[in-house]
Chain A
């Protein structure tokens, strides 16, 4: 089982729709969760972080966390073609040296079509 799992996609949604991206993680002790967006040929850029169960909203983006189910999701409202990118879920877990280590999922490719 991968430590952080995402559906690779592509997830295709029409412009204006809600895109829902999902992520599961294996370490029940993880406490910090992040979503990054990566355009083709570019480096990842932070969208948002979430630490507590429930929803966290930032503009058109809403992150949802359910620690009991070990599940994180990202909703993008009013999707635009410019949202077409790969979305990476990242989770901190304890490394073997006792320090936290950030682990990335393989990413979900989102395609928003006009």
Chain B
């Protein structure tokens, strides 16, 4: 079974631009979570989607948004990029929200550099 895939793998943007990152979960997985990882802050939770609904949201400004499609694929968008948005963005998928389904598996990440 293929793992979680994320595109693009690397991205360079300039301040003020916007970016869209894509995540395809493991086949059959319906829950997708997004995380931001920086050397100083570690893994920070952005949001989680299940069945096209956002169920949890982390403490990030409104410039960060996401959505999930009916095939469970997910995208996240960052508008008006700032230098501090440079990070590794990780997507993780799980079967679902129930206790025996909640184990998360990570994709390879998208490394974003904002200049």
Interface residues of A (CB under 8 A from B): 31-32, 34, 36, 42-46, 49, 51, 88, 90, 92, 95-97, 99-107
Residue B99 at the chain A interface, CB threshold 8 Å: yes
12 A-B pairs in the complex with CB atoms less than 8 angstroms apart = A31-B99, A34-B103, A43-B88, A43-B106, A44-B90, A46-B104, A95-B56, A96-B56, A97-B55, A97-B56, A99-B50, A102-B45
Measured CB to CB, the closest approach of chain A to B97, in angstroms, equals 6
Chain B contact residues (Cβ within 8 angstroms of A): what range?
20 to 34
Contact B103 A88 (CB under 8 A): no
Q: What number of residue pairs across chains A and B have CB atoms under 8 A from each other?
A: 54
Is the CB–CB distance between A107 and B56 below 8 Å? no
Q: A46-B103, A95-B56 are in contact. Are A100 and B109 (CB under 8 A)?
A: no
A34 CB → nearest B CB, Å = 7
Q: State whether A49 touches B103 (Cβ < 8 A).
A: yes
**Does any Cβ of A come within 8 Å of B107's Cβ?**
yes
- Considering the complex, give the chain A residue whose CB is closest to the CB of B50: A99
Selected from B56, B90, B97, B103, the residue in CB contact (under 8 A) with A43 is: B90
